[in-house]
Amino acid sequence: MSWRIGIDTGGTFTDLVALNDITGEEKVFKTSSTPDDPSRAFLDAIQGVLGEIGATAEEVTMLLHGTTVATNAVLEGKYSQLGLIVTKGYRDMLEVARQNVPGEFGAISYWIKPPRIVPLELVREADGRLDYKGEVLRPLDEQQIRLAAREYREMGVKAIAVSFIHSYQNPAQEERAREIIQEEYPDCFVSISSDVIREYREYERTLTTCLNTGLMPLLSTYLDRLSDRAQEAGTEAPLYVMKSSGGVSTASELIKRPIAASLSGPAAGVIAAAAISNAAGITDVLTLDMGGTSTDMALIEGGIPRLLTEGKIDIYDIKSPMIDMTTVGAGGGSIAWLAGSKALRVGPQSAGSAPGPVCYGRGGTEPTITDANLVLGRIPPYLLGGAIPLDRQAAYDAIKTKIADPLGLSVEKAAAGILEIATQNIAAGIRVVSVRRGRDPRDYTLFPFGGAGGLLVSPVANALDMKSILVPMAPGATAAAGLLYSDVRVDHVITDVQREDLLNEEQLQEEFLQVRERVIEDLANQGFKSSGIRLQAFVDMRYVGQAFEIRVPLPISDDSISLADSFKNFHTAHESQYGYSYENKSLVEIVNIGVTGFGQLAPPRHRPKPYSKGGWSDLLKFTRPLYVNAVSDYVHCPVYERPTEPISEPLEGPAVIEQYDTTTVVEPGWEVSVNEFGHLLITRKSVGGVQG
């Protein structure tokens, strides 16, 4: 037998999904996370699941891991102390940043700039300057690099970032600087900007390089420890880690570019959503990953998650390929409050898991989304199948005093209002990844997962006029499952701005070969020789004068790329994304040329199950009062056990479907069936739409 194992470490739980490569059998395992040393839960989970399935460690063929270690280090500022060497004249780059004050007009008066990743006293300058074509204006002052490296060594600064102006055009000066640093200070971690991301815009590239460097010592220690734990469990299986791009990488490759793992955890969930919905024949999907503090949303088109080449991690604009995700502060623990003259707001402040919602009885006093769900009968009065009881009265009282009384509403109306505002916030987030990218959410299926994903799906679908919802088998373990569907992925680009009318195709061909070589080399380092790999070439293009690019794929044949259709394809893509194009009216320029390489890990196939002979009535547990906003009253709502086998007979809402770690609410106006893969398929009833 051979098993591949996916382990996703979250803030509260560590989820594991084991998949039998031969039979397709899946086993889900959950254990409490161990935040002080996440590798402990990693080991517990492996040993636990092997015990349950009765397999030995030798039968494990592959370990795949999603982690929030990098994300949390960024969010909490727990990266290593590091030094930064920049081009002469740019010492204050991180201070000046992009000069922008986030937030509303007037925010300048109260906004406090967060601490910089590298404090000014640890930044050093070196002379040496390239022009925008990458030609040397002034040679590198090697002595300054040498002295800086020695000084860092003396100070005990273990990680050094190097970022020079225009190095994306010509990395030679940065590469030389790295050599000198390694000569002077062999046991330090060093990364150069042209290696981390070879694209223009110096602040974002430098910031990304700094974060990358600051994460190196941490990730290196963490991944070493995971390898030790795996050995402790008795397995020699290779360890792959999920990256923000939705591909995985071997641990040893990731140590060079830990920034690539900054959205490791959330990315795995989106990959799972793509794999699960594709198997069910649904290729256009919007995902909704609702957890305790926030909700992440992403768009999958034609079975493939949309990708961005840059994005935001917390307050940092970084350049690293990542799945196009938006986060809103609407999770189970998000707090409802009244602003100014009694305007109801939900989030972004969260009660988190400590103290948690009022109903947890752990000292929380501010009403949360979970409290509203409990009061309205949308969740059972306990967590995890009864392990943790919830205090409905306390939730009721908090909503009454903090929200309902000041607004002159009944507690139920106030609680329903909290969910309505949360729904609106989530819907706004979905619009960011869809409407803002020129996509109409009505053409997509909503795919909820995460612990709280099933609770607000119908209201969110109503708000966006979406017609169908797919709830996976184990919404709480979706991210872990996603790890099992991933390929090794490598992305590299070179910035070379070339106008359409002054195109130097030869140069682009040469750059393509360079970048392809880097991709192939990285894949080879991860055990993939030419047979198991797949390559995609692309250019990023824009109209001259624009600052945002659109990625256009290029066909590759016999070691060369064809640019023939790329301009036409760009106009078409621009039309689709922004609603207009300037074909024959405006010049186009190429900004980046790049290659993505995949090392195929042979993802498993989903196997359909036969339809159940029984029906919903066999799964009915009891009825519970559920508040329905449309009729402003409680109704007797049937509560069902989550089916494990397909049921073709549709069940009309209202209905509540419970499983170990998730509850799904089917609102009036919607009906639910179970497809042949065991997913809940919730669809709007054909005639009219009832507001949730």
Partner 1 sequence: MTNDQQTHIFDTSIYKTPEYKPFRQQEWPRSDEEWARIEEYKQKVDPITLDVVEGGLEAAVEEGEAAVELAGRSTIIREQHDYRASICTVDCNNVTSVSWGASADAVRAHFPLEDIHEGDVFLYNDAYDSHGTITHLPDYCICIPIFHSGRLIAFSMIFGHTEDVGGRSVGSWPTTSTSIFEEGIQIPPVRLYSKGKVQQDIYKIVLRNTRFPDTMQGDLDAFIGACRLIERQVKQLCDRLGADIVEAAMYKLMDRCEEAVRNVILPMFPNGEYTGEDFLDNDGINMEDPVKLMVTIRKDPTKIILDWTGTNPQTEGPLNSPNDGRFLSKWVGSFLSQFAPGTVINEGVTRVFRCELPPGTVLTSEYPAPVINRMQCWFRSFGAYGAALAQAFGGNVNADNNCVQVYGVYGYDNDGKPWLYREVFGGGSGARPYADGTDAVDMVNDAKNLPTEFIEQRYPVVIERVALNPDSGGCGKYRGGMGYVKDIHILTDGYYVTYVDRTAFSCFGVNGGGPGLPGGTWINPGTPDEKLVQFCQEGIPVKAGDVIRVTTPGGGGWGDPLERDVEAVRMDVLRQLVSVESAKENYGVIVHKRTKGLSTEYEVDLEATDLMREKIRQARNPLKLINRGEYAEEKRKAGKITYNDVFLPQTGTEAHAPSGEEQLS
Among 57, 75, 147, 573, binds partner 1 (CB under 8 A): 147
Q: Specify the residue, 337 or 634, whose C-beta has the smaller distance to partner 1.
A: 337
SS3 184: helix
Pattern 461-480, binding to partner 1, x per CB under 8 A? --x-x---------------
Alpha-carbon gap, residue 226 to 249, rounded angstroms: 15
Among 37, 58, 95, 224, binds partner 1 (CB under 8 A): 95
Among 23, 100, 584, 686, binds partner 1 (CB under 8 A): 100
Residue 636 binds partner 1 (CB under 8 A): no
**Range 425-444, binding partner 1 (CB under 8 A):** 425, 428, 431-432, 435-436
Q: How far is CA 182 from each of CA 149, 176, 290, rounded to the nearest angstrom?
A: 8, 10, 45
| Shortest Å distance, C-beta 322 to partner 1 | 18
Residue 93 binds partner 1 (CB under 8 A): yes
Among 56, 58, 111, 143, binds partner 1 (CB under 8 A): 111
Residue 116 binds partner 1 (CB under 8 A): no
SS3 365: coil
Among 40, 306, 345, 685, binds partner 1 (CB under 8 A): 345
CA 146 to chain CA centroid, Å, is 39
Residue 605 binds partner 1 (CB under 8 A): no
Q: With contacts defined by CB under 8 A, name the span among 225-233, 422-430, 595-603, 607-615 that binds partner 1.
A: 422-430
Q: Specify the residue, 341 or 531, whose C-beta has the smaller distance to partner 1.
A: 341
| Shortest Å distance, C-beta 575 to partner 1 | 12
SS3 303: coil
| Shortest Å distance, C-beta 545 to partner 1 | 4
Task: Yes or no: say if 677 and 276 are a contact pair by the CB < 8 Å rule.
Answer: yes
Terminal CA-to-CA distance of the chain, rounded, Å? 48
Among 170, 424, 514, 536, binds partner 1 (CB under 8 A): 424
Task: Yes or no: say if 323 and 305 are a contact pair by the CB < 8 Å rule.
Answer: yes
Task: Yes or no: say if 627 and 544 are a contact pair by the CB < 8 Å rule.
Answer: no
| Shortest Å distance, C-beta 150 to partner 1 | 6
Alpha-carbon gap, residue 144 to 150, rounded angstroms: 10
Q: Specify the residue, 23 or 100, whose C-beta has the smaller distance to partner 1.
A: 100
Among 24, 37, 78, 120, binds partner 1 (CB under 8 A): 120
| Shortest Å distance, C-beta 272 to partner 1 | 28
Residue 544 binds partner 1 (CB under 8 A): yes
Among 23, 36, 105, 387, binds partner 1 (CB under 8 A): 105
| Shortest Å distance, C-beta 93 to partner 1 | 7
Q: How far is CA 189 from each of CA 93, 184, 220, 338, 455, rounded to the nearest angstrom?
A: 21, 12, 10, 48, 45
Q: Specify the residue, 203 or 611, whose C-beta has the smaller distance to partner 1.
A: 203
**Range 183-222, binding partner 1 (CB under 8 A):** 200-204
Among the residues of 343-410, which ranges form H helices? 369-375, 392-399, 405-407
Q: Specify the residue, 41 or 430, whose C-beta has the smaller distance to partner 1.
A: 430
Q: With contacts defined by CB under 8 A, name the span among 181-189, 417-425, 560-568, 680-688 that binds partner 1.
A: 417-425
Residue 164 binds partner 1 (CB under 8 A): no
| Shortest Å distance, C-beta 284 to partner 1 | 20
Task: Yes or no: say if 314 and 74 are a contact pair by the CB < 8 Å rule.
Answer: yes
| Shortest Å distance, C-beta 132 to partner 1 | 4
Q: With contacts defined by CB under 8 A, name the span among 149-157, 361-369, 532-540, 674-682 that binds partner 1.
A: 149-157
Cα torsion 627, 630, 635, 638 to 10°: value is: -90
Alpha-carbon gap, residue 101 to 549, rounded angstroms: 24
| Shortest Å distance, C-beta 424 to partner 1 | 5
Whether a cis peptide bond, with omega within 30° of 0, leads into 305 is no
**Range 28-57, binding partner 1 (CB under 8 A):** none
Q: Is 184 exposed, middle or buried (0-12, 13-18, 19+ CB in 10 A)?
A: middle
Residue 631 binds partner 1 (CB under 8 A): no
**Range 577-596, binding partner 1 (CB under 8 A):** 578-580, 582, 585-586
Q: With contacts defined by CB under 8 A, name the span among 56-64, 171-179, 216-224, 420-428 that binds partner 1.
A: 420-428
Residues sharing a CB contact under 8 Å with residue 171, sequence separation 6 or more, in sequence order: 192, 194, 195, 198
The two structure tokens encoding residue 681: 């398929």
- Which of 21, 491, 592 is closest to 248 using CA atoms? 491
Q: Name the strand (E) or helix (H) holding 268.
A: helix 264-279
- Which of 272, 279, 219, 224 is closest to 477 using CA atoms? 272
| Shortest Å distance, C-beta 349 to partner 1 | 11
Among 76, 110, 302, 558, binds partner 1 (CB under 8 A): 110
**Range 313-342, binding partner 1 (CB under 8 A):** 337, 339-342
Checking DSSP bridges between strand 60-66 and strand 3-9, what pairing results, if any? parallel
Q: Compute the 3-state secondary structure of the chain and give helix, strand, coil in percent, each to the nearest 5.
A: 35, 30, 35
Binding-residue total with partner 1 (CB under 8 A): 82
Q: Supply φ then ψ for residue 251, to 5 degrees.
A: -55, -40
Q: Which residues of 349-372 are buried (b: 16+ CB within 10 A; e: fewer)?
A: bbbbbeebbbbbeeebebbbbbbb
Q: Specify the residue, 384 or 435, whose C-beta has the smaller distance to partner 1.
A: 435
Q: How far is CA 532 from each of CA 92, 415, 535, 557, 558, rounded to the nearest angstrom?
A: 46, 54, 10, 18, 18
Among 96, 304, 602, 631, binds partner 1 (CB under 8 A): 96
For residue 684, list its beta bridge partners. Answer: 670
Among 23, 36, 54, 104, binds partner 1 (CB under 8 A): 104
Alpha-carbon gap, residue 66 to 10, rounded angstroms: 9
| Shortest Å distance, C-beta 265 to partner 1 | 26
Among 54, 98, 557, 610, binds partner 1 (CB under 8 A): 98
**Range 478-537, binding partner 1 (CB under 8 A):** 497
**Range 392-411, binding partner 1 (CB under 8 A):** 407-409
Alpha-carbon gap, residue 189 to 242, rounded angstroms: 22
Q: With contacts defined by CB under 8 A, name the span among 5-13, 25-33, 129-137, 641-649 that binds partner 1.
A: 129-137
